[in-house]
Structure 1
Amino acid sequence: MSLLNNPVVVITGSSRGIGRACALKFAKHGASGLILHYLGDEATTAEVASLQTEISELSPNVKTVAVEGDISDPATSTKIVQEGLKVFDRINVLVSNAGICPFAEFLTMPQATWERTRAVNLDGSFYVTQAVANQMKSQTPQGGSIIGISSISALVGGELQCHYTPTKAGILSLMQSCAVALGKYNIRANAILPGTIATDINKEDLADAAKREGMVKRTALGRLGEPDDIAGPVVFLASDLAKYVTGSSLLVDGGLFVNLQ
């Protein structure tokens, strides 16, 4: 039995990592359509094409639309909605996932690093949430589910993440306020806070064997997370199993946050 009732789902940053895992999980559990956003460079173009092929093999009845663009540009979010509506008559779910984390020392961090990280992570989340929420408000039946991919970094600090952690705290706050602003339109807004997940965003950082081992030991479950570990909770928040859940934050970290000793 499917967990989902044939929703049309937008996923930003879908070509790799958590976004890709979410796309596959939605296809497996009953989505009827997927609007797959990706950056549009050579690497992500190849990745999203491969993802579409994988989805068609996994769930042949699921339609996909790929939309390229820099999420920090508000025009990209408008394009995501417009291109999606050329194929589908509605949007039921948004997974705002696109993000970057170029590790950098605070005292010597170029201003451009701060601006780009903020623009992609926080501005991009705001733009796509606003664009999709307007569509959810205007369609019949009205409503939908918005899931912002925040981070455990919204709750704790990191020496090389003084530019990154504020953006993830901002996404958490954005989802909380959107839950209040959009509830009257039957739109739910929630945040997922992943712990240390082995993806491209932290591949270089985790290449340090000692650091990787230390992160593993800090988790209660004794392993780093995988993108699929996040995809399941995302699908839950999108489903009717979570129909009375809004303004919430779900920490998915293998017990990293609580493991003080």
Structure 2
Amino acid sequence: MSLLPGKVVCITGASRGIGRGCALECAKHGAGGLILHYYGDKDTQDEIQSLKQEIEAVNPSTKVVAVPGDIADPETSKNVVEEGVKSFGRIDVLISNAGICPFWDFLSMPHSVWERTRQVNLDGSFYITQRVANQMKEQTPQGGSIIGISSISALVGGGQQVHYTPTKAGILSLMQSCAVALGPYNIRANAILPGTIATDINKEDLSDAAKREGMIKRTCLGRLGAPDDIAGPAVFLASDLAKYVTGASLLVDGGLFVNLQ
């Protein structure tokens, strides 16, 4: 069963991790077009090329346009939307995923680390959400689905994440307020809160074997998450199965949050 037949999906931070997993899952579910944002350095250029090949293998009917740029720069969101609309004529779904988490001790954290994390995670989410929402408002038929990738960190603290957790709480709040602001235009806005997902963002942190094992033991399902564990819920929220779901937050953490023992 294809849940996204012919839909045009825009994904930020699509070259790796959760964004990449979402791109592949959307293609599997029949997306007609994918607008894939990526940072644009050598590594992400190589990754986006290999992702295009994977998408072609999964669904040759899914067309792809890739747009590079720093999501912290408002011009990047402008370019992403313009290039996407030029290629496909509309945008039906946004998965706002691009983010960073440079682990750092709070007391010695340079202000530049705080500023860069906020600019990428929260400012970037605002810029792309506003741009895509304006497109969804103007297109016919009006409407669409916006999904902000927040985090379990929106709900709990982390000693090395004092700069990161407020940005993820901000994304959750952004989606809640957008649900109110955009409802009149048939635009739904929801947040996904991943738990510990093994991606490049936490690769160095999880290289500590004791810490990794501790996280696994705290998770009810007995394993760390993978990008496709988030991609499935994202496809659901993007699809018409969730047509009456807006302003919601979906915790996808394998039971990490509820396990206090």
User: TM tier, shorter chain?
Assistant: over 0.9
TM-score (norm 2): 1.00
Per mean C-alpha deviation after superposition, the further-off stretch among 84-93 and 120-129 is 84-93
SS at match of 1:217: helix
Letter in 2 for 1:124: G
TM-score (norm 1): 1.00
Identity %: 78
Offset at 1:89?
Answer: 0.9
Instruction: Report what 1:117 is aligned to.
Output: 117
In structure 2, the gaps of 5 or more residues are: none
Offset at 1:233?
Answer: 0.2
**Backbone CA RMSD of aligned residues:** 0.4
- The CA deviation string for residues 122-151 of structure 1, in whole angstroms up to 9 with x for no partner, is 000000000000000000000000000000
In structure 1, the gaps of 5 or more residues are: none
Instruction: Report what 1:184 is aligned to.
Output: 184
Letter in 2 for 1:147: I
Measure the CA separation in 1 of the matches of 2:42 and 2:54.
19
Letter in 1 for 2:78: T
Letter in 1 for 2:196: T
Instruction: Report what 1:74 is aligned to.
Output: 74
Instruction: Report what 2:160 is aligned to.
Output: 160
Offset at 1:5?
Answer: 2.9
Measure the CA separation in 1 of the matches of 2:223 and 2:51.
26
Offset at 1:180?
Answer: 0.1
Measure the CA separation in 1 of the matches of 2:68 and 2:215.
34
The answer to whether 1:97 aligns with 2:83 is no
Measure the CA separation in 2 of the matches of 1:2 and 1:108.
49
Instruction: Report what 2:243 is aligned to.
Output: 243
SS at match of 2:107: coil
| Equivalent pairs, count | 261
Instruction: Report what 1:130 is aligned to.
Output: 130
Measure the CA separation in 1 of the matches of 2:193 and 2:110.
27
Measure the CA separation in 2 of the matches of 1:245 and 1:177.
14
Offset at 1:57?
Answer: 1.4
Measure the CA separation in 2 of the matches of 1:224 and 1:5.
31
- The CA deviation string for residues 85-142 of structure 1, in whole angstroms up to 9 with x for no partner, is 1110110000000000000000000000000000000000000000000000000000
